[in-house]
Amino acid sequence: MNTNKVYLITALLCLFGVKGMAQLMPPTGQTYSFTLQDCINYAYEHQDTVINAKLDIKSADYRVKEIIGGGLPQISGGATFQDYLKVPTSLLPGEFFNAPGTFIPVKFGVKYQSNLTLDVDQIIFDGSYIIGLKARNTYKELSQRNYTRSKIDANVNVTKAYYQVLVSNEQIKLLDANLAQLKQQLDQTTAQNKQGFVEKIDVDRLNYQYNDLQTRRENVVRLLVLNYQLLKFQMGMPIAENLTLKDKLIDVKLEENTADLNTDTTFYKNRVEYGLFETQVKLNDYDVKRSKAAFLPSLNAFGNYTSSYQNNGFRNLYSMSFPASYIGLRLNVPIFNGWQRTNQLRQVQITAQKSKNDLYRLKDALNLQANRARITFFNGMQTLNSQRRNQDLAKEVLRVTKIKYQQGVGSSIEVTQAQTALEEADNKYIQGLYDALVSKVDLEKAYGRIQ
Kindly report, residue by residue over 107-139, the tens digit of the pLDDT: 878 889 999 999 999 999 999 999 999 999 999
Residues 6+ apart with CB under 8 A from 220: 1, 168, 171, 172, 175
Q: Which CATH architecture has domain 3-69+126-296+334-446?
A: Up-down Bundle (1.20)
CA distance 116 to 321: 10
For the chain, give every domain's residue range.
3-69+126-296+334-446
Residue 239's SS3 state is coil
Q: Is the pLDDT of residue 15 over 80?
A: no
* pLDDT at residue 104, as a whole number: 81
Task: Share the mean pLDDT of the chain.
Answer: 88
> What is the arithmetic mean of pLDDT over 420-440?
93
**Least confident piece of the model among 83-87, 219-223, 252-256, 396-400:** 252-256
DSSP string, 332-348: E----STTHHHHHHHHH
Q: Which pLDDT does position 28 carry in this prediction?
A: 67
pLDDT given for residue 262 in this prediction: 67
pLDDT of 415 over the 50 cut: yes
Per-residue pLDDT tens over the stretch 30-73: 889 999 999 999 999 999 999 999 999 999 999 999 999 999 99
Q: How far apart are CA 122 and CA 438, in angstroms?
A: 59
pLDDT in tens, 244-292: 999 998 888 887 767 667 666 788 888 999 999 999 999 999 999 999 9
Higher pLDDT, residue 185 or 16:
185
